[in-house]
Chains A and B, each alone.
Chain A
Amino acid sequence: MPINSAVSSDNKRVMINITDRFDYGLHQSFRNSYQMVNEAGVIYSINLSRATYMDSSALGMVLLLKEHAEKKGGSVIICKPHPAVAKILKIANFDRFVTIEN
């Protein structure tokens, strides 16, 4: 699967891993990976170290997750973006909305 996710045992952290192309094709499965999580203060980390491509729909999907997270006082972190993806994030100046950890 190009996307898989895991929830930590204390339910405070959701880790989403994406490989290959992060684009519109993942729309539904990306949503599914966090929709059921409704606890307060959850940190969602999206690991993009193995994603080689990201399109604008995917940027939009991250914003949707951010909205979902912040409604319950949580937050979103993008982890280790692959260079190709880091470039897309930079062009969109996404560091202004989401924490990006290299």
Chain B
Amino acid sequence: MSRTHITDYPVAREKVLVVDDQLINRELLQSMLVKIGFDVILASNGQEAVDLFSQHLPALVLMDIAMPHMDGIEATRLIKQAAGEIFVPVIMISGLDGDDVIRRSIEMGGDDFIHRPFSYEVLRVKIKAIQRISDLYREVQRLYVLRQHEEDIAEDIFSNAIEKDNITFDQIKLHKRAASTFSGDVQITAIRPNGDINILLGDFTGHGLTSVVGALPLAETFRAMTRKGYEAEQVIAQINRKLHGLLPTGLFLAASMVTMSSNGRCTIWNGGMPDILILSAEGEVRQRIESGDPPLGIVPDMPDMNFTFTQLEPDDKILLVSDGVLEARNTDGEYFGEQRLLWAAMLGCREDDLLGRIMRAVDTFLKGHEQDDDISLIEIPGRIKMFASSLAEPGVNPALVQQDQSAGWTWSICLQGNNLKRVNPVAIALSQLQEVEGPGDHWHDIFTILTELFVNALDHGVLNLPSSLKSSAGGFTEYFAQREASLEQLESSCYVSIHLTSVKAAGQSSLLKITVQDSGSGFDHARWLDRIAERADDETGLAGRGIMLVQALCQSLIYSEDGSTVTAEYSWGDGLMALN
């Protein structure tokens, strides 16, 4: 980009305004200034000076202090006011002695002081010095305008390229108010193939442009991995690796993430953000999820991240905030703080206007004082209603799957020992399937089938966790704690394998055979299936629902090997029908 030379300013700037009530003084100054090379405008009192200033916009003002009517100090004040953001240096001139005159001249807005009488040389160097300051000031202003422009672009990237792609659910409320210096808050949402919603609130370090660097890779990674069905832990680990490779030391991303299922189960992670609050309908804090990990992008790997698994009541709400809310400062330098947030949140829950109430409280508190940091709020309800149509990715043609009617294929993966904890085979299987078969609506079904069967094999087969634990909301948390602990002690003889076979008979819809086998000792599947069938109408049962869902989606579901092997047959294209 070419750089405007700092002296490239209109000729009008080379005028000097001389203000003095004595004709002899004016004439003396005029002759000196003409000799230096300026155009000179003369004013004989303060009021005339103010008028001429607005008319000519001189680059410099020489101001006598003692004048009748309006003195030099008042005239200087008015001139500075009229100049606004443009820097117009005013050199005060006086024959009076004493520190007090100098002090007052400078305090009232004068930029320099010359004591009369003075020589031509003294005037010349004083003006030279003050022009250096003028030039510097203009340069700063030029850079400021440039930076402002670049920040506007940064903000545009944020709102257009990143947040525009958010799924729009009026049930999840997002609110962001950017500070005048854009400060790097980012809100991203995306849907997993099984209908879970991933929500991320992030806060990049720094202000302005620097805070945008990581935003695009963050959004891309988050969306791509969510769409492929990866778990929160894997999404976060990958974002961390990306940002660590990309961001220079000292830049990082504090973030919180929620994975929300339609039945109110959620997985919550907090890395460097303020506490995440789960609020009851009455606005009481039912649970608080503190930051359990450092922000992302600092260390190359994040092992053993801390996740909170919890079950929400239908009327609960999750509230995510950025530190811009808690650290909003009013004119007295006071912070908004958590007490005010909790109070506003309580009222907001009762009035059913959580975010609106909090923002009003912040505004009342700030009393018009400008916010220094972005303010972000996200409200997630305890139940999110999903519609099949909202699951479809925009622009994906659900019809067309395979071109070659006769071709079939097989694919398999077997995870052993520690890999069961580390690797998500469902996401891998799904991306393989998409690779071979192209996009389509049935991926949501297949994701569900694979996930349910894999989780059953791992949890109940390999880890031998009793599913009865899950039948209460409290036990659900306990279940996850046990699961975490057991995953730490996997022996290398443990395994789960997934085998996929696609069979395509001419003229018929093709069939996907999914076989999942585990190293566990199996279970009494016949009795289990009977019991599930009996309880089909019992809405309260939290266990066994996965299998019911898989049964509904598949043409057939057959257990063998005492229950340690299960084979599901799924017919392409009929999946959504089966759901109804």
Interface of A with B (CB < 8 Å)? 24, 55-57, 59-61, 63-64, 67, 90-94, 96-97
Contact = CB atoms under 8 A, between A and B. Distances in A.
A67 B249 contact: yes
11 contacts: A24-B207, A56-B252, A57-B206, A59-B205, A59-B252, A60-B205, A61-B250, A93-B272, A93-B292, A96-B294, A97-B298
A63 B249 contact: yes
Contacts of A56: 203, 205-206, 252, 254, 272, 295, 323
Contacts of B272: 56, 91-93
Interface of B: 203, 205-207, 249-252, 254, 271-274, 290-295, 298-299, 323, 327
Contact of B293 (A55, A57, A64, A93): A93
Determine chain B's interface SS by DSSP, over half rule. loop
B298 A63 contact: yes
Contacts of A61: 250
A60 B273 CA distance: 15
A55 B274 CA distance: 13
A84 to B, nearest CB: 9
Nearest to A95: B294
A57, A60, A97, most chain B CB atoms within 10 A? A60
Given A97-B294, A97-B298, A91 B274 contact: yes
B406 to A, nearest CB: 56
Contacts of A63: 249-250, 252, 298
B252, B254, B298, B323, most chain A CB atoms within 10 A? B298
Nearest to B273: A91
Contacts of B291: 90-93
A64 B293 CA distance: 20
Nearest to B294: A93
A57 B249 contact: no
Contacts of B250: 60-61, 63-64
A55 B254 CA distance: 12
B294 A60 contact: no
A24 B203 CA distance: 15
The 5 tightest CB contacts between A and B, nearest first, are A60-B250, A93-B294, A64-B250, A56-B205, A91-B291
Contacts of B252: 56, 59-60, 63
A64 B527 CA distance: 62
A53 B375 CA distance: 18
A6 to B, nearest CB: 24
B294 to A, nearest CB: 4
B254, B290, B294, B323, most chain A CB atoms within 10 A? B294
